[in-house]
């Protein structure tokens, strides 16, 4: 039996391709290795916060803020992993049936329970059954809600709605933020693209969240688009075929 030496298949690739493969593999390994200790840190902080919340309010507040930062770091790592898989063509779908209404409620309850700066509301009547990759659609909803929170004034309302639209399920995230001009709307879903304005430059961001949204929805044969006017907020929509 012939044994292939480690790295043998990699060495057959052109040098540039080798570097791309190594970079993507390194990102994936680093991402997974970082997420494990972060999950443990988050659990410990939540336990200690629960222990001290009735005896040391100041400590509980600081622990809550630290917990929020860990949540942001985990989301950033997930985005890097998603981008890595998409850019090297390794992103695959694990489809199953689920209710979009339940998924949206789950994302808000698990990933945005700490948000006290904005009012998050849902407007969904009845079930919205789809056949899609639940984990990836969670990432889409998370990214759209994160953006809405980031670019909307504090205490404003962010609403997420869902409905049937012909043979598709359509989800919309509406904010009361800074809005987007027509020139930027055309490039908004490009990788690393960020709007150049004073309101945006002071916000943390890497320009990959909406790119990931676009690619995930494209994989599902769906559609994503935005309606917006400067100063009047934005509505981000995505639709998925039900089969």
- Residue 19 is predicted with a pLDDT of 64
- Residue 2 is predicted with a pLDDT of 41
180 is written with which tokens?
A: 């987007």
- Residue 108 is predicted with a pLDDT of 93
Span 159-175, mean pLDDT? 93
**3-state secondary structure string, 13-56?**
CCHHHHHHHHHHHHHHHHHHHHHHHHHHHHHHHHHHHHHHCCCC
Fold type of domain 95-241: Heat Shock Protein 90 (3.30.565)
- Residue 72 is predicted with a pLDDT of 76
User: Which of 33-37, 83-87, 149-153 shows the highest mean pLDDT?
Assistant: 149-153
Which of 95, 162, 200, 90 minimizes the C-alpha distance to 210? 200
Identify the DSSP state of 151: T
Which of 213, 220, 214, 219 minimizes the C-alpha distance to 240? 220
- Residue 27 is predicted with a pLDDT of 64
Query: 16 or 231: which carries more pLDDT confidence?
Result: 231
Query: 69 or 138: which carries more pLDDT confidence?
Result: 138
Cβ atoms 217, 225 nearer than 8 A? no
The pLDDT tens digits of the residues spanning 38-49 come to 888 888 888 998
| C-alpha–C-alpha distance, residues 37 and 105, integer Å | 27
Q: Where are the domains of the chain?
A: 9-87, 95-241
């Amino acid at each position: 039996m012939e044994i292939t030496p480690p790295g043998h298949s990699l060495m057959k690739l052109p040098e540039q391709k080798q570097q791309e493969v190594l970079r993507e593999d390194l990102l994936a390994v680093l991402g997974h290795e970082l997420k494990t200790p972060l999950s443990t840190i988050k659990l410990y902080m939540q336990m200690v916060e629960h222990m001290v919340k009735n005896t040391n309010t100041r400590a509980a507040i600081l622990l809550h803020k630290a917990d929020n930062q860990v949540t942001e770091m985990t989301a950033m790592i997930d985005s890097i992993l998603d981008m890595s898989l998409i850019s090297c063509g390794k992103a695959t779908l694990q489809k199953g049936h689920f209710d979009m209404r339940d998924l949206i409620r789950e994302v808000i309850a698990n990933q945005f329970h700490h948000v006290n700066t904005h009012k998050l509301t849902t407007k969904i009547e009845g079930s919205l059954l789809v056949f899609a990759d639940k984990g990836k659609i969670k990432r889409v909803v998370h990214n759209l809600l994160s953006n809405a929170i980031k670019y909307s004034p504090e205490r404003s309302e962010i609403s997420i709605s869902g409905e049937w639209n012909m043979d598709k399920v359509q989800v919309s995230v509406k904010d009361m933020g800074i809005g987007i001009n027509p020139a930027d709307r055309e490039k908004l879903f490009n990788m690393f693209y960020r709007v150049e304005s004073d309101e945006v430059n002071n916000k943390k961001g890497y320009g990959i969240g909406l790119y990931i949204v676009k690619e995930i929805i494209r994989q599902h044969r769906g559609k994503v688009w935005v309606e917006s006017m400067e100063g009047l907020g934005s509505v981000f929509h995505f639709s998925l075929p039900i089969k």
